Structure 1
Amino acid sequence: MSQNYEDRIRRVVRYIHENPAGDLSLDRLADVAAMSRFHWHRVFHAMMGETCADMVRRVRLHQASLMLARGELPVAEVARQVGYPTPQSFGRAFRAAYGVTPLTFRKQGVPLVALRQMKPEEFRMFEVVIEERKEARFAGLSHEGSYNGIGAKFEELAALATTRGLWPQMQGMVGIYCHDPSETPEADLRSYAALILGPDADVPEGLEAQTYPAGRVAKLTYKGPYSNMSEAYHYLYGRWLPESGEEAADLAPFEVYLNSPIDTAAEDLLTEVCVVLK
């Protein structure tokens, strides 16, 4: 792990422990890490083996258990000091984690549950190359909700390109994924099914333009079904990016699809997972 990424992880862990009642939102933690919100959550999850939200919940409830064991504060005040808006929401979260209510925990002297013990992460290895790329122009349809549902947008996009005779002006298809699905509620996920515009192509009517500037791009070529793509992201963010010393730009990662499930077996699908670098 490079010192730069180690420092960021440690800074965020300290911040969570020192501010249990503070703003521990995903965007705030990305600010503490001084990293793009598009990439920070993926880096943290892949390196630490748990999501930011999981760590926040675990630390808050552990600190609450210490306060309850001391018996000095009312349950409502314990809830407030660890960032829960009401005793009821605190009670539900505490019982889910410890199996008893906060009051029962205090009365019975339930042994404290140890903090999570980290285990070394195992990564499937991939080759990652850094390429210089020209400006990339995409035009597509936005999708909100589960990434598993974006297939309908790709179908709609392909039909549009076929009926309008756009394929000769296009250079392929990409998917742009703006959030880490392990951190973001499914309803809030945002993604794009897009066409790669040729150098002389205009943005077709009814499609939304996305532009990625010229520069260096880290590219991992994944072979296999789309459903297993998470292991490529896991390696890219959890192993390669920290060890490379590189830093991702403030742009969402994107996937370039080199063949199609229409005429290719799932195990033979080829996808480039791309992260723009600073």
Structure 2
Amino acid sequence: MSAPYEKRILRVLDYIHDNPAGDLSLDQLADVAAMSRFHWHRVFHAVTGETCAQAVRRIRLHRAASALVMTEDAVARISRSVGYANQGSFNRAFTEAYGASPAAFRKAGCHVPSRPDFKTGVYPMYPVTLRQEPARRLIGLAHSGDYHLIGKKFEAFGALCETRNLWPHLGAMAAIYYDDPDSVPAADLRSYAGSEFFGAETPEGMEERHLAGGKVAVLTYKGPYAGISAAYHSLFGNWLPGSGEEPAEAPCYELYLNNPREVAPEELLTEICLPLK
């Protein structure tokens, strides 16, 4: 696909992520793409595998799920912040996507304070295994800011892979998280969204990263990405203190075993990898 079309896709994805409460109608997104409504819809669907309406709904509800588990904001306020003026409509859409109402989703134990009291030692339990990981070469896009907004970079990365036919050269989807969100301001957090790469040259506009491999503690988390912070607290608050292991001087990374466009949020599988000495 030519560069102008690629830029249009990226521009629209950025617009959706940056304006969850705004006008995200097909007409508006077609204007952002600078294409006719009819042709834009076909181009977007062909490249992303989703209609514009499906993408908007998924992105808005993921933002809402993150707000439910990361903030104490009222459900009505969260509903408005992601473009649902009618809370009843928001409740129905969220329940259909996540299998639980917004209130039940929050009450189910996904909510974790931003700075929990580690003295309590009360964290959910997740399976952790030790394994030897291979060195990996990644391509992707750097992200700055709140970790829960990294999806914006994954959207852009996926669009670039589709327009450039990179999928045959890719392995596991991955993310690297360089900072501790409990000690670094959200605006200063550094992360990276991409995939293992088996091609030759790094594609234009992307950045290359390397995972050294070696001994790794792997926590398998099943569920919505919005609740994954609880798994990190479990890894560092439950497993690590009693493991006898020492973390290496390397950031945690995640490997994604399935696709949020293909499975329900509660079926998502993520491996959280903690490099060890």
TM-score range, shorter chain: 0.5 to 0.7
Residue equivalent to 1:146: 146
| TM-score, normalisation: structure 1 | 0.55
Q: Which amino acid aligns with 1:251?
A: A
State the Cα RMSD in Å.
Answer: 1.6
Deviation of 1:212 (Å) = 1.4
Deviations 1:117-175 (A, max 9, x none): 98532121111111112111111111111112211110110011111111111002111
Deviations 1:63-99 (A, max 9, x none): xxxxxxxxxxxxxxxxxxxxxxxxxxxxxxxxxxxxx
Q: Rate the CA distance shift 1:124–1:168 in 2: closer, same or farther, 3 A.
A: same
Larger relative CO (CA 8 A, sep 6+): 1 or 2?
1
Whole-angstrom CA distance in 2 between matches of 1:230 and 1:273: 11
- Pick closer, same or farther for the CA change 1:126–1:196 going to 2, 3 Å: same
Partner residue, 2:275: 276
Aligned pairs for 1:66-145 (under 5 A) are 119-145=119-145
Matched with 1:99 is none
Correspondence for 2:241: 242
Q: Given that residues 170 and 201 in structure 1 are in contact (C-alpha distance below 8 angstroms), is that contact kept between their aligned partners in structure 2?
A: no
Q: 1:235 to 1:160 in 2, by over 3 A?
A: same
State the Cα distance separating 1:194 from its structure 2 match: 1.1
Structure 2 vs 1, CA of residues 119 and 170 (structure 1 numbering), >3 Å: closer, same or farther?
Answer: closer
Equivalent residue number for residue 58 of structure 2: none
Where in structure 2 are the equivalents of 1:1-278 lying within 5 Å?
A: 119-198=119-198, 200-278=199-277
Contact 1:135 1:213 in 2 (8 A): yes
Measured against aligned partners, the alpha-carbon deviations of 1:8-54 in whole angstroms (never above 9, x if no partner) come to xxxxxxxxxxxxxxxxxxxxxxxxxxxxxxxxxxxxxxxxxxxxxxx
1:169, 1:201 within 8 Å by CA — same for their partners in 2? no
**Contact kept? 2:118, 2:237, Cα under 8 Å:** no
Relative to structure 1, the CA distance from residue 240 to residue 201 in structure 2 (aligned partners, 3 Å threshold; closer, same or farther) is farther
Amino acid at match of 1:173: M
Could you say if the C-alpha distance between residues 244 and 161 of structure 1 is closer, same or farther in structure 2, counting changes exceeding 3 Å? Answer: same
Amino acid across the alignment from 2:228: M
The TM-score normalised by the length of structure 2 is 0.55
| Partner-residue secondary structure (3-state), 2:120 | coil
Task: Evaluate the alpha carbon distance shift between residue 169 and residue 183 of structure 1 in structure 2; reply closer, same or farther with a 3 A threshold.
Answer: same
Q: Distance in 1 between matches of 2:228 and 2:257?
A: 14
1:118 and 1:176 map into 2 onto residues whose CA distance is 24
C-alpha separation between the residues in 1 aligned to 2:146 and 2:230? Answer: 18
CA distance in 1, matches of 2:119, 2:241: 18
Find the residue that maps to 1:262 and give its secondary structure: coil
**Could you say if the C-alpha distance between residues 175 and 118 of structure 1 is closer, same or farther in structure 2, counting changes exceeding 3 Å?**
closer
SS at match of 1:264: coil
Partner AA of 2:243 in structure 1:
S
Unaligned runs of 5+ in 2: 1-116
- Following superposition, the deviation at residue 272 of structure 1 comes to 0.4
- Structure with higher Rg: it is 1
CA distance in 2, matches of 1:130, 1:201: 31
Tell me how far apart the structure 1 counterparts of residues 240 and 131 of structure 2 sit (CA, whole Å).
Answer: 15
Contact kept in structure 1, 2:121 and 2:238, CA below 8 Å: no
1:249 counterpart letter in structure 2: A
Once residues 182 and 240 of structure 1 are traced to their aligned partners in structure 2, the CA distance between those partners, rounded to angstroms, is 18
Percent identity at matched positions? 48
C-alpha contact (below 8 Å) 2:248/2:275 kept by paired residues: yes
Determine if contact 2:140/2:193 at 8 Å carries over to the other structure.
Answer: yes
Secondary structure in 1 matching 2:153: helix
Which whole-Å CA distance do the structure 1 matches of 2:208 and 2:241 have between them? 31
Amino acid in structure 2 at the alignment position of 1:187: A
Question: Which stretches of structure 1, 4 residues or longer, exceed 4 Å deviation after superposition?
Answer: none
